[in-house]
Amino acid sequence: MKSEAFEHGPSPITVAYNFMRAGNQTERLRWVRHPEKVAAFMEEFFSHGRGASESMVSLSPMESALADADSYEPFAVELTDGSRRLLCVVREKGSAKVDFKAYARHGSVPWEDLLSGTAKQASEVRVLIQKTDYYNFEFADEQRWIDFTATTPDLDSSLHLYVSKNNPDIKILNKLASGEALGVTVAISAHGESHLKRQFEITALLATDWVLPDKSE
């Protein structure tokens, strides 16, 4: 997708820079998608979360991509600690807007709550998945489950996510995750004490990306 597809306001790369250089919540809200929906957790992210200690070193365009019906321009943000974040600028009513959920790798429930068992399910998490072959404990039945290893920069080690062979999303996941790791947004749920083994079921595939289409927001 080309930048000129954005009809109103600054170009995607200008929006990306403006967002990264914004010094407060009010400034950031000018540049994000669905500001009324992301305001609360964006404030938490930059005040007390990972964003509080992160600063941009550089911002580089990446190859354009397509998330369901929403086209966007992706940028790689290099941070002072050497890590990176994906920043996606989406077409929003003819203007360029940052998808903050994708940038923050937002989940509906904190990982620490899922792994401790405080929460048994999450309606939305963002991970990289790759098809693997590990069946044990609550997910020992290979006739019932398909296994995927999931990683995220927000955790020190991987998870195993399982999809029921009866789940209609299995064909999409099988096709897309058989090669290199794929970014997806999914809903997950623990089975019994499976969280203690870092194992969860994928109950729904929300997007084959970290950017959700408008109908899922």
Q: Which of the residue ranges 18-22, 94-98, 124-128 would you say has the lowest mean pLDDT?
A: 94-98
What is the three-class DSSP state of 115?
helix
Contact 106, 100 (CB under 8 A): yes
Question: Mean of the pLDDT values across residues 133-143?
Answer: 97
The residue among 75, 55, 53 whose CA lies nearest residue 64 is: 75
Domain 3-104 fold is Nuclear Transport Factor 2; Chain: A, (3.10.450)
**Three-point CA angle 126, 43, 91, nearest 5°:** 60
Please tell me the pTM assigned to this model: 0.91
pLDDT above 80 for 188: yes
Look up residue 42 and give its amino acid. Answer: M
Q: What are the sequence ranges of the domains in the chain?
A: 3-104, 111-212
Binned at pLDDT 50, 70 and 90, residue 27 comes out as very high
Domain 111-212 fold is OB fold (Dihydrolipoamide Acetyltransferase, E2P) (2.40.50)
What is the three-class DSSP state of 90?
strand
pLDDT above 70 for 65: no
Q: Retrieve residue 11's tokens.
A: 């170009």
CA atoms 109, 84, 72, 209: torsion sign: negative
